[in-house]
Structure 1
Amino acid sequence: MTILRALAALLVAAGAALAGPAPAHAEQVLEGIFTYTPAEGTPGTWTIYPSCVPVVGDLREPLYLPVGCRLHVQGSTGVTGGDAVLTGGQWAFTTPKDRGMQCPDGTWAPTVEVVKFDDVTMSGTRSVTHNGNCGLPPGIINTPFTLTYKQPLPIPVDQYPLICEPGGLRRCF
Structure 2
Amino acid sequence: HDIDVPIMDDMFVDRGRSRRKAQEITNLHRYRVELYYVVLDMQLQEINSHFNETNTELLLCLTCLSPNDLFSAFNKQKLLRLAQLYPNEFSTIDIMVLGTQLDTYILDMRTSGEFSKLKDIGDHAKRMVETKRHNVDPLVYLLITLALTLPVATASVERAFSAMNILKNRLRSRMGE
Instruction: State the TM-score, normalized to the length of structure 1.
Output: 0.26
Which structure has the higher relative contact order (CA within 8 Å, separation 6+)?
1
Q: Name which one, 1 or 2, has greater alpha-carbon Rg.
A: 2
Instruction: State the TM-score, normalized to the length of structure 2.
Output: 0.26
More helix by share: 2
